[in-house]
Amino acid sequence: MLSALCCSVSVGTASAQSDAITTGTLIDEMVDMTRLTFKDPHPYKSVQFSSYDRRSTSPDNPGWFNNVDGFGGEPIPAFEAVIKEPGEDGVGEYLICDVEGPGAIVRLWTATIDGDIRMYLDGKQVYSGNAREFLWNLPAELSNTIKGEDYRGTLRQFDALYFPVPFAKRCRIEWIGKLNTTHFYHVGLRLYDKGAKVKTFQPSDIVTYRSQLDRVLAVMKDPDGQMKPAGRTEHVTATVPVGVRQELIRIEGSKAIDNLKIKLQAPLPEVTMRQTILRVFFDGASAPQIEAPIGDFFGAAPGVNPFVSLPLSVAQDGTMTCRFVMPFKQSAVIQIENMSQVPVTVKADVSAKDYAWEDGRSMYMRARWRIDHGINAGSETRDVPYLLAMGEGRVVGAACYLMNPCNIPTAGGNWWGEGDEKIFVDGDKFPSFFGTGSEDYFNYSWSIEDIFYYPYCGQPRDDGPCTRGFVTNFRWHIIDDIPFNDKLAFYLELLPHSLIPDFIYARMIYLYGEHGMIDDHYSITPDMVRPMKMPVWIPVSAGAATDYRFLSAEQTLRGGGPISFEHDPMWAGGQLMVWTPAKAGDKLTMAVNTSAGHKDMQITFALMDNGGKVKVYINDQPVRLRGKEVIDLNEPGRRLNRSFNTDAVDFKPGENIITIESLSDGPAKVGVDLLWVRD
């Protein structure tokens, strides 16, 4: 039924402080980047109710890193309370949340959930029905009037749902189901101070605020096209020599940078984009409020990984855009430092619009980056610190940039992110946000390898197979921002499936903070941004890959051409066999020896520019891979290593012939890395 994304009021207008908080004001705030720069006139605390493992009570007690959080059958029910003990049918009633006072639902998420949900707003039951529908789909009044393609990818972002639902007095949500079935859930809420005037959501709001909603959907579907610079744009080009820190631009006056575009020109972008440092100083600050490798700041690390989101985008040609609003009272200075081994040329378009700085309310944009090299991941579970800060502000985003050199080629083995987010706000003794898994925080689930990006979240890089290689995840807190009055401690557990030596973990927090805020940021050094060297890997039969035998593509080659080879640690053994068929109908033949039996196999292909469409046969019989007869290997602007499992096939003893047929009109590339055989 519901959704998420809530907020207070449009603080950029003179009448904001007297206006009530309504569904309409919250809808507007879903794309209001300027609002984030102000302290809110109606303060609130952001909280999350989730199915985290209730044995986690304190880092000083056993169980802090326990991970039974929604699979079913947990030792302690993953709810706030038991309302009604299970009957003979095993069905019980459980409390997800019960909060009093004005507030709003801001985000809902589930990987999957069984059972039913009941929800009450201000004591009135407004929903009773399927739990999955509640957490994944829109209110019936809304979904009946909006086409699925309009809200999927905007209000619904992968497994999270964003549609603001305000309430004036109380919100109570109950789950009815069997504890031995799945029940993953997040419910994100804003809890306003008692004096806030909130108008409770009504079905008629869909009609009342429909024009606003249509406008917001249009912006969320096309941020690059809809969120145009509002100020005067300066065009700057600078070539920064090796080892030099150089001023790129200086802007005077009370203004706000509302659009920053940067394109870096240098060889080896995966290295130079990490070793070129962006620093931004507001109002003569001694230390930069923004300091990060330029690629990491724009969510592109390592290298160029195209995506579009509400505040940040990266184009295919490497142009990076930031739409976070960066206000200042007197001046802004942008510097570039070149820590690489080659000169870098920076081309920038900087738009600065008029902004009325308000002492005591306006806040500086801040971005804090850090990295750990050489982690022996899995040797012990740890809470990885993203940021510790003192002062008043709000979190508006987080991102992680990982190098995962695990040799197990399946997510059931190379998955890095079982760990939960733990976000402490102000005087918390227990986190206001305690999550259920790293991918759950980033709005997806089940450690998927998909490349995706939405207005508020994305995974623009995941080399593969599954979650090995370089991986980038981000989530923006725009309407579900996390304000704090004096303290913030933001952690994300590192809990992988297996032991992974030489794991690298870089991460960022994006926030706004008052003048004088302090934090635990440490200035970036050349050693921090040293090149990351992915080791050559050999697949290991472990985890979900247990019982498989791995054969490199070239070992099995019997005929077809032309054949070439690409060399990169992304591919098993550091080498990829590339077949370039000239036309549809050309065939590549390979052979594997195995025992007789009804079994499956897997083929690891490369997805890349100009990748071909192929069909696969085993012993002249067509087989489906991932349930499809035709596999499209074209992936513009990226190179991915992906494994495709076949349906179960009757293999004969001895040699079995695998045929790959090109279905592409004209030349195409077919990269084959591995064949897996389960004996």
pLDDT, tens digit, for every residue of 581-602?
999 999 999 999 999 999 989 9
| CA 279 vs CA 5, 7, 245, 422: distances in Å | 31, 30, 10, 28
Would you say how long the chain is, in residues?
679
The b/e string for 341-351 (b: 16+ C-beta within 10 A; e otherwise) is eeebebebbbb
Q: Which residues contact 133 (CB under 8 A, 6 or more apart)?
A: 1
CA distance 491 to 65: 13
115, 90 in Cβ contact below 8 A?
Answer: no
Q: List, for residues 459-486, the tens digit of each pLDDT value.
A: 999 999 999 999 999 999 999 999 999 9
Environment class of residue 195 by beta-carbon count within 10 Å: exposed (0-12), middle (13-18) or buried (19+)? exposed
Segments in the chain below pLDDT 50: 1-17
The residue type of 470 is F
pLDDT given for residue 679 in this prediction = 77
Residue that the structure tokens 């030596």 belong to: 501
User: Beta 81-84 vs 44-50: how paired, if at all?
Assistant: unpaired
CA distance 636 to 624: 24
Q: Name the nearest CA neighbour of 294 among 598, 626, 529, 503.
A: 529
pLDDT given for residue 143 in this prediction = 65
168, 198 in Cβ contact below 8 A?
Answer: yes
Taking only Cα atoms into account, the Rg of the chain, rounded to an integer number of angstroms, comes to 26
CA dihedral 351, 352, 354, 356 (to 10 degrees): 140
CA distance 357 to 363: 9
User: Beta 364-377 vs 290-293: how paired, if at all?
Assistant: parallel
Average confidence score pLDDT of the chain? 95
With helix as H, strand as E and coil as C, how does 527-579 read?
CCCCCCCCCCCCCCCCHHHCCEEEEEHHHHEEECCCEEEEECCCCHHHEEEEE
- Its sign, for the CA torsion 151, 155, 160, 162, is negative
With helix as H, strand as E and coil as C, how does 121-157 read?
ECCEEEEEEEHHHHHHCCCHHHHCCCCHHHHECCCEE
**Class of 227-359 in CATH:** mainly beta
Partnered with residue 279 across adjacent β-strands are 291, 335
3-state helix, strand, coil in the chain (%, to 5): 10, 45, 45
Q: Which residues contact 285 (CB under 8 A, 6 or more apart)?
A: none
The residue type of 210 is R
Count CB atoms within 10 A of the CB of residue 91. Answer: 15
pLDDT given for residue 15 in this prediction = 37
pLDDT given for residue 147 in this prediction = 75
Environment class of residue 617 by beta-carbon count within 10 Å: exposed (0-12), middle (13-18) or buried (19+)? middle
Q: Name the nearest CA neighbour of 456 among 441, 476, 472.
A: 476
CA distance 114 to 229: 45
**Class of 363-531 in CATH:** mainly beta
Domain with CATH 2.60.120.1390 in the chain: 227-359, 363-531
CA distance 491 to 39: 24
| CA 506 vs CA 52, 312, 368, 592: distances in Å | 25, 18, 11, 41
3-state DSSP assignment of residue 297? helix
CA distance 332 to 283: 6
- CATH number 2.60.120.260 is the correct assignment for the domain at 547-678: yes
3-state DSSP assignment of residue 219? helix
Domain with CATH 2.60.120.260 in the chain: 547-678
Q: Name the nearest CA neighbour of 609 among 582, 583, 635.
A: 635
pLDDT given for residue 141 in this prediction = 66
